Structure 1
Amino acid sequence: MVPGFPPSTAPNNVGGSEAQGCNTVAMTDTGPNQQQATYWTQAAGPQWVQQQVMFDQMLTHFGGAALAALAAQPGERVLDIGCGTATTTLAIADAVGPTGWVIGADISTTMIEAARLHAATRPNVSFVVADAQTDRIAPLDDPADAAFSRFGVMFFSDPVAAFTNIAANVRSGGRLAFVCWQHEDKNEWISLPASIMRSFTPEPLLPPNNAPGPFAFHDPERVRSVLTGAGWQTVHIEPFSAPTTMGAGQGLDAAVGQSMNTSPGQALRKQVDDATFARAAEAVRSALSEHMLGGAVTFPGNVWIVTAHR
């Protein structure tokens, strides 16, 4: 039994592993997405944990739309793929109630450690450090009713294999709901700073189209092809737009700090010296200042809300 679950709802044999501490299960440290695991554990993960409030506020409208599409019901069993620091995991736990359960899975040990702290008092929540492309996440004898993700499924080295594995963790007739970004050009919160940062380095700051990265699923037809290739049916992909607030409304300095910790900023930090990075941050600050609205830096954000069934 995984610690943290009441005996009536505790999933057994999660991932075929024993629990490692309170409501946390440790999985493999190697695999096809090890580079992502290292990045999200050592580089991006600590920054995300430090700025969790900012990122959660930035993503709140999009996560809410995806949760509405999931429509988790009392008593259901749900996987939260790429759960991060557990914000959506806890929202799902509220929806499924004490007779259901939620397993949050993330490839980042740093994220899972933070998630564990946030959910310490929640008996129907458990966590695994896992690669959803290859690892068993749901109990072997108790597959999930649904899988969910808020921006956590765009980083797989083999998306078809990943969604095939996710499907194997979900019961026949179960469902999938996730949110992913539309094209970078439709998300000025990142395209504007990235365009400025590119003037400070000849190296790319974002992966090429369709490569693992935040915009890997910008093309809805590719998303449909991946999901149908993985055995999912009745795939629906709907556009959704909402304001994207940088810096959690804490002013321009906070927005610049958050912007410089997005994927392009993380890449730039590795490519240039501190003085150049500081100049880039100042240039980003100047650009973001023109988008202050009510004390916050705000841009329109555009995503896809994706649902499917097994």
Structure 2
Amino acid sequence: MLSINGDQEEFWGKSEMGGRWLTFEDQLDHLFSPVLDLLLDRAALTRGMRVVDIGCGTGASALTVAQQIGPEGHVLGVDISEQFLERARRRADQANLNNVKFRYADAQVAALSTGDCDALISRFGVMFFSDPVAAFANMARALKPGGQITFAAWGALSENPWFKTPHLAAVKQLGQPPKVDRNAPGPLAFHDRDRVSDLMSRAGLADIKVKAIPLTLAAPSSAKEAATLCTRVGPAARVIAHFEGEQGDVDAIINAVADEFEAYRTPEGVRVPAVINLLQARAS
């Protein structure tokens, strides 16, 4: 596979941290279900469409799209993690979906299609490219003229307690890790809406819209379960790994986060407020 994002390939495909997304797959799919609902509502996909899902992970978004567009349509799920794709293929087989395929590829450089796709979608799969302009331009080549991109990315750290609360708890417990460029590849790389709009414009896209959409994440039922999940994946997990935190540190961080998350407990479970940046544009 041609790839120039080898560090991301290593992280998501081979590291313990990437593997945790398989361990917590069901909880993460549930957590992000409101994001997927938002994404597909705005993408306005219809039966018979040809769709590419960028950074498809273990397949939740691609499988939902495959059901939505029907057997006359087709979905190609693309990801840089083979372990995620193996799981996605098993899920498609179990669901008897024959209109979805998965491909191991780096979407920044791979030839994804021959310009015959109607839409590109992504739920949190586009924030990790070393050259976002090149990636947007390359992905757009898969689209028919006028074909639509609809991507969901995280807003700023300050707008998303799912990231901010565990990060602050981990820093308080273990210390501040080395500072990194806030725009560097990572989950929060597209927090700056003006910057993302400029990147898409430089990639040659048209009708660009980048909107901040508030919603609530469907976290596990208890504050302790929610705290455990967001501490095992995401920024807090990276702080713990950097300082080689011990189990006592992890427990202290989880307890601190759980105390904060009690404010988000509802009769339906923990509902954590979030801001999602919705990116939309068309191929010119």
CA–CA separation in structure 1 for the residues paired with 2:245 and 2:161: 26
Shift in alpha-carbon separation, 1:207–1:126, aligned structure 2, 3 A: farther
Question: Which amino acid in structure 2 is aligned with residue 160 of structure 1?
Answer: V
2-side partners of 1:290 and 1:227: how far apart?
37
Q: 1:273 offset after TM fit, Å?
A: 3.1
Q: Quote how far apart the aligned CAs of 1:161 are.
A: 0.7
Equivalent in the alignment of 1:40: 12
Counterpart of 2:64? 91
In the other structure, the counterpart of 1:200 is 173
Q: CA deviation at 1:169?
A: 1.7
AA matched with 2:100: V
* Change in 2 beyond 3 A, CA 1:279/1:206: farther
Name the TM-score, length of structure 1 as normaliser: 0.84
Q: Deviations over 1:167-209 (max 9, x none)?
A: 1122222110111111110111221111111113334388532
User: Are 1:58 and 2:31 matched, yes or no?
Assistant: yes
> For 1:89-238, what aligned pairs fall within 5 Å after superposition?
89-120=62-93, 121-138=96-113, 140=114, 143-204=116-177, 207-238=180-211
Q: Name stretches of at least 5 consecutive residues in structure 1 with no aligned partner.
A: 1-26
2:235 aligns to what?
Answer: 264
Measured on the aligned residues, the alpha-carbon RMSD in Å equals 1.9
Give the distance between the partners of 2:27 and 2:180, measured in 1 at CA: 24
Q: State the aligned residue count.
A: 278
* 1:297 shift after superposition: 2.7
For 2:227, give the aligned amino acid: V
State the distance in 1 between where 2:78 and 2:174 align: 35
The CA distance in 1 between the partners of 2:102 and 2:31, in whole Å, is 24
- Identity in percent: 31
- TM-score, normalization: structure 2? 0.91
SS at match of 1:74: coil
d(CA) in 1 for partners of 2:61, 2:44: 13
Which deviates more, 294-303 or 171-180? 294-303
For structure 2, the 5+ residue unaligned runs are none
1:20 alignment partner in structure 2: none
The separation in 2 between residues aligned to 1:220 and 1:256, in whole angstroms, is: 28
- Of 78, 81, 97, the residue aligned with 2:51 is 78
